[in-house]
Structure formats: C-alpha cells, structure tokens
C-alpha cells in the first residue's frame, strides 16, 4: 500500500452504457441480471482504483431496483468508496437512466457491494483509509457502519440453532401461509 489515506473523490468511477434490445428480458425491460453484471464491474473498478490492487466481490449487501430501465436509455452508474476496513471496502453505486430523446433522468437503482483487496497469492491486502471531506462522505461512511452491524446481526440470527417451531405458529394468522404438522 503506497498511500495511507485517500479522498473519496480520488476513487470515484462513472460508467455509461446504452441499453440495447439484447439486454432486455421477456417483458421488454432491461434484465436485472444484466444490471447486476454492470454493478459488479463498476464496483471492481472503484475498489481497484482505491486499493491499487485486484479486488473480489465479498458480498452484495443491497440492490434496490427502484424503476425499470427501458431499451434505448443511456444508463449511467456512479460508484464511490463509502467505507473501508482493513482490506474491505463498501462501494456505493447509484444507477440513473436517461431517455436520450427527452432528456428525462430517473434514479433506477442503488446498491452496495463489499469488495476485498487481494495480493498475487490471494491473501487479503490492507487498503488505504478514507479522508472524509463532505457531509455526504460522512453520512455514507456512518450508514455503512450501521449496515455492517445489521448484516452481522442477520448473519448471527440465520445461524441461530435455538429455533423452536411452536413459537412461530402464530405466523399463519399474520402471513399468507398454512402450517401443517
């Protein structure tokens, strides 16, 4: 690692691509899987730019599809490093689609990818810290800390072995489910 700290803006990446019919699903909208592929590419670029190392996707923390993307729209993705740990980085990505005929821009997707820097032997590599200069930088860093805490809690609950099914029989009254034991 050559730099001890970097400003958020030093690692920002912007990528644009015209959406083609080959990117669409059976409903004529851009396929979510294709968007996920683009998100992974820009997360890699942003994390690698920050760390100056090869990076791998450790997790996709959130992907919120807010509005569909249409064929012929120009999609622009904006990625920045929101948080850094020792070797991990949370990359925040905003996706906007522009109707190139009308100029209308819509926010279509927000996502957070956790990327980890690796050396040539596949070992985790320390990354530069972040210099937070704006209120947005601070807000994104703080929200990332909160999101990481929630993720740890979900992971712990998922692996909890003290599950007693009788305690959950009431869910059939609240949800669209029928329990038959």
Q: At 116, which CATH number?
A: 3.10.129.10
Domain presence at residue 135: yes
> pLDDT tens digit string along 68-109?
999 999 999 999 999 999 999 999 999 999 999 999 999 999
Between 118 and 174, residue with greater pLDDT:
118
Report CA-CA distances (Å) from 159 to 68, 70, 145: 35, 40, 22
Domain presence at residue 145: yes
Report CA-CA distances (Å) from 128 to 7, 61, 86, 100, 133: 10, 21, 8, 38, 16
Q: Please compute the mean of the pLDDT values over residues 15-28 and round it to a whole number.
A: 96
Domain presence at residue 75: yes
Task: State the Cα–Cα distance between residues 66 and 85, nearest whole angstrom.
Answer: 29
Task: State the Cα–Cα distance between residues 7 and 17, nearest whole angstrom.
Answer: 27
pLDDT at residue 166 in the model: 73
Domain presence at residue 77: yes
Domain presence at residue 181: no
Domain presence at residue 176: no
Residue 66 sits in which domain range? 5-159
* pLDDT for 13 beyond 50: yes
Q: Are 88 and 38 a contacting pair, CB within 8 Å?
A: no
Six-digit token string for 168: 């959950």
Cα torsion angle, 163, 166, 172, 178, sign? positive
Q: Are 83 and 145 a contacting pair, CB within 8 Å?
A: yes
Between 41 and 179, residue with greater pLDDT:
41
Domain presence at residue 73: yes
Grouping H, G, I as helix, E, B as strand and the rest as coil, residue 74 is strand
> pLDDT tens digit string along 139-170?
999 999 999 999 888 888 877 776 667 777 77
> pLDDT tens digit string along 42-69?
999 999 999 999 999 999 988 999 999 9
pLDDT at residue 164 in the model: 66
The answer to whether the predicted template modeling score (pTM) of the entire model surpasses 0.85 is yes
pLDDT at residue 1 in the model: 46
Grouping H, G, I as helix, E, B as strand and the rest as coil, residue 75 is strand
Domain presence at residue 171: no
* pLDDT for 3 beyond 80: no
* Domain total in the chain: 1
């Amino acid at each position: 690692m050559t730099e001890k700290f970097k400003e958020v803006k030093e690692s920002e990446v912007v990528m644009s691509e015209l959406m083609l019919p080959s990117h669409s699903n059976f409903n004529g909208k851009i396929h979510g899987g294709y968007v996920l592929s683009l998100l992974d590419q820009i997360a890699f670029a942003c994390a690698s730019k920050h760390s100056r190392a090869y990076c791998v996707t450790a997790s996709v923390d959130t992907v919120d599809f807010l509005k569909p993307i249409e064929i012929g729209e120009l999609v622009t993705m904006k990625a920045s490093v929101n948080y850094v740990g020792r070797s991990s980085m949370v990359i925040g990505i905003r996706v906007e689609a522009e109707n190139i005929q009308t100029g209308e821009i819509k926010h279509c997707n927000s996502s957070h990818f956790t990327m980890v820097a690796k050396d040539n032997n596949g070992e985790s590599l320390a990354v530069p810290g972040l210099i937070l200069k704006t209120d947005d930088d601070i807000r994104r860093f703080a929200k990332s800390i909160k999101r990481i805490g929630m993720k740890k809690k979900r992971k712990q609950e998922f692996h909890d072995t003290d599950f007693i099914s009788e305690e959950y029989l009431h869910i059939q009254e609240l949800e669209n489910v029928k329990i038959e034991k």
